[in-house]
Structure 1
């Protein structure tokens, strides 16, 4: 029995993508309206601003429209990105935005409503089944999987459809399988903004009753945003007081590192603009040995410069994926940073992260009962898979000929829509 309409939805830390399949037809990517035309990739971001003409006095936009609104009125808005990263965090209870509190699921519902509004009616009540991707392991120090599931359920409940959750790399595997003409054991490596997830999948020959059989999975909360963190830590935080001291009575103590950890985390930076945190930073500034440095941190937060900083870091990463050296530039709030960075520098900064990612690959292989020699193909997907150090690790272990890539930002949603066409999703659902 074919399901009439299926939506495959990849809710990503950085970007979100949707694919639609009607009556068993091949999935088509949903094109969203953006300020620059149609695009199948929708940034996972929100922008809030006060507007008396809007019910409740608080307006909101999402995706590229959120970015455009922020760029037009940075001082009068609150820009929130990478909020998926806190889905499994018990520490995160709510985000305070213009003195209003928003739980994770409320942010998620606002995002989905705005995303659907930009899909020109393609996302509505027509879908009888929605297959949502989820990471193998959520981001965060101690991720609570049950909490994340509860929040996801609340986020998607209003869609009124049959909801299924599938590991994101399994969705990518199903998409990749459509390109294969013979049986293979495939390692899928999905690198997003918040997590790196791996699945080993046995792909049968075309036309088989069951094309894909998942064998084992593993994941870790290290990916593109962590690489961004390393850049901010090296190039920006020393200018904002990290490693500096403050006076406490007759003692000289190191400034608490928690402020800097939050600043370098895209999901937390915008949320630092609240009265409590800014009051704490102001008190810290008064007792700091280098008051100007803490003043610069406060200014960046108050002037909502998180997105320009994120953009500068992203430009550096992309440049270092293409060239062996690139220039970093960021200016604002009395802060001006110019630095030449080599790819070797960057790879040194993320070396420990790459090592932990490789250990996670080993765990996926062990969970599947398959050694490296049993892997026929490796499919790399997700934006961070384009990082040369990431690709080099797989080439070293599996050989250049085994590596495949492509559709880095859309393969998961495409595969989730294909999975949604199956009569029984029990084999794939989590």
Structure 2
């Protein structure tokens, strides 16, 4: 996390007259206002992140934690991810807004350290929740008969994720601090402050090791996410091909069942005709039989027994077919819901990778060049700062994706707001 701003003074458009005595505070305000005006579009974007992230993630938590029915196992981490995204969005966007509006006047050392610490902590925890969700989906779809995540394991994972985030973020308390911008004093004789990592050459090695560690952890997350969702995508593709083949088999089976039912109906009709014919013959034969009438009773009951047996067989086959069809429909519906949820997580993870990519690149640039922000041209400063804060978009996108793609989430939202009305 870097909140430093050092304008390219050879390109700044603030006009000053060295021979005119100007109050240092007024001059600092003039420089600060000019740079803040340049960064105003980014400030508006950060306000958008803050409002949408707060409202959207609050809605997700409300929908999942206020419901009376127990939460489904595959959605256990969703409200927790929303909570981490909400806190991360508020901390990162709020700190960024202050940094854009006071680019040369960030003189609160405690605020600087806490902003760096909390920003890294909740960004790491949020990213690790995405990682755990990917692993859980991988186990469910690619290892369905293996050991699954129980509630106890999930709670233990939450503790481990939190501790790991603390390990990664605690060093930021010692690395980031408020420092004076030397160029402002050297060129204009005024004090300007920025929140940045210390440029003490004696601690340069430790800073480099820390940033390399963050870089390695981020790349490791990317690799694991690619592995999990790559295998998941392949399994979904194979299941789709299998369903297509099974669909053709089911259609053939249905046609066979229908023809069998027709044949059974025809046989029942024939039995009825035979029964009626046999009844007329029984009348004729009744004069020829003995006084006990055994032959007449036998001939009269045989067709009736055959027709009843055929009806029972037909009804049993129809009930079995309908039961199999209903089970298949329920399984197909559950599979579609599971696949839809997996696609949602794949999309969210893809957005995470895209939004964190520029952050990783700028992290490398800052590690290689300690004065990176001082060398950025004035005309490109807004673009670079936008790329530097683009990772916050990952914290606001989840509710948007749920609202567009998750039918169950939309239904729950509608139910909640209908009750409120």
TM range (shorter): under 0.3
Larger RCO of the pair (alpha carbons < 8 Å, separation 6+): 2
Q: Rg: which structure is higher?
A: 2
| TM-score, normalised with respect to structure 1 | 0.20
